[in-house]
Amino acid sequence: MKIGILTGGGDCPGLNAVVRGVTKAALKKGWDVVGFRDGYKGVVEGRFMPLDDKAVSGIIIRGGTILGTSNTANPFAYTLEPLGSVKAPKDLSGLAVKNLKNMGVKALVAIGGDGTLNIAYKLHKKGFPVVGVPKTIDNDLSATDVTFGFDSALKVATEAVDNVHTTAESHHRVMIVETMGRYAGWIALRSGIAGGGDIILLPEIPYIAGDIVKAINDRRRRGKHFSIVVVSEGARPEDGEMTVSRVVEGSPDPLRLGGVSYKIASLIEKNIEVECRVVVLGHLQRGGSPTPFDRWLATGFGVSAVDLIEQKRFGRMVALNRYSCQSVTLAEAVGKLRRVTPDCLEIRTALSVGSTFGNAGIVK
């Protein structure tokens, strides 16, 4: 029995822990394991490395992925030279399946987010045995209670919110911390709660400039001459769009967000005599060693993926539900994004301790 592993999409802490979990569980069953380099690119171009006990020794503590990753190597619309191009994407999914079969790979473990798992689902429909493992720091896959990588990103964001408090209070400033989160604001929301953020701006709740200004003025009237704003990169005004810094042609998601925190700083300084400072976390949230929770979760996901293969339950994704490793169909996994809703526990919690969301008309 030979199985393959790939890591697709953006990197995050915990990927190596999954690779290790899958490899060790498979080796214990007497199986052979290969890791495909740079996501689906390795499958299409036949680039891989054998994985044994030595290859995965010590990697549980490391961020990133020893296999490499790619968020542009879609076998169904391949744009990478020399086999494809941005101007003329090619469907090389047949070549990908052929390569897997020629290598004797009987099943593939695809570790990634919505894009990676969508491709895995298509390969499953094409007839190749696939099992998915959910990864995204945004925690926006609806079929699992949590994805690995989220807790590690949340730790970085929360520490940043913690660390700006002293500067904000000492200088009577508004400090703005910008987190990742294009369409789902879970990182900003939970780090805002954990770090004591006063205003939390999310993609799901369009903000109103006047409500942000009012929230800061209300604090000043109560003798609080500093404020902490935690803003997700995908936050937008009620009558506007997300803040785009540039467009990258040929990318699966060509819009590159950036600058919303500076926009918020500008609107505050125009309306209030207060100095604003901005901290953009960016890819800091993707790096570093995974938290103990993410190591535990990623290892459990890896072992559960091997169990699904042994049971021949293909076309499924491992998931954590009520602290139990279960599985759902890939169709369920990629059906819709898990986004913040105004009535969720976190929103109610934040409101109860005095945080606001820049839109009093939506969240009361």
Distance CA(257)–CA(283), nearest Å, equals 13
Asked if the 2-148+290-333 domain carries CATH number 3.40.50.450, the reply is yes
DSSP state of 289: P
- Which ranges of the chain does DSSP label H, i.e. alpha helix? 15-28, 40-45, 93-102, 114-125, 150-171, 186-194, 209-221, 260-271, 292-310, 330-333, 345-352
pLDDT at 252: 67
Check: CB of residue 69 under 8 Å from CB of residue 8.
Answer: yes
Q: 134 forms bridges with which residues in the sheet?
A: 112
Could you state, in order of their start, the residue ranges of all structural domains in the chain?
A: 2-148+290-333, 153-287+341-352
The CA distances from residue 202 to 158, 352, 358, in Å, are 16, 18, 9
pLDDT at 255: 77
Dihedral, CA of residue 105, residue 11, residue 185 and residue 134, to nearest 10:
20
Q: Which residues are catalytic?
A: 138
Whether the model pTM is above 0.95: no
Low-confidence ranges of the chain (pLDDT < 70): 250-252, 363-364
- The amino acid present at 316, given as its one-letter code, is R
Dihedral, CA of residue 48, residue 49, residue 50 and residue 54, to nearest 10:
-160
Domain 153-287+341-352 maps to which CATH number in 3.40.50.460, 3.40.50.970, 3.30.930.10, 3.40.50.720? 3.40.50.460
Q: CATH topology of 2-148+290-333 equal to that of 153-287+341-352? A: yes
Helices and strands of the chain, counted as H and E runs: 11, 13
pLDDT at 146: 95
Distance of CA 25 to the CA centre of its chain: 25
pLDDT at 322: 87
pLDDT at 364: 53
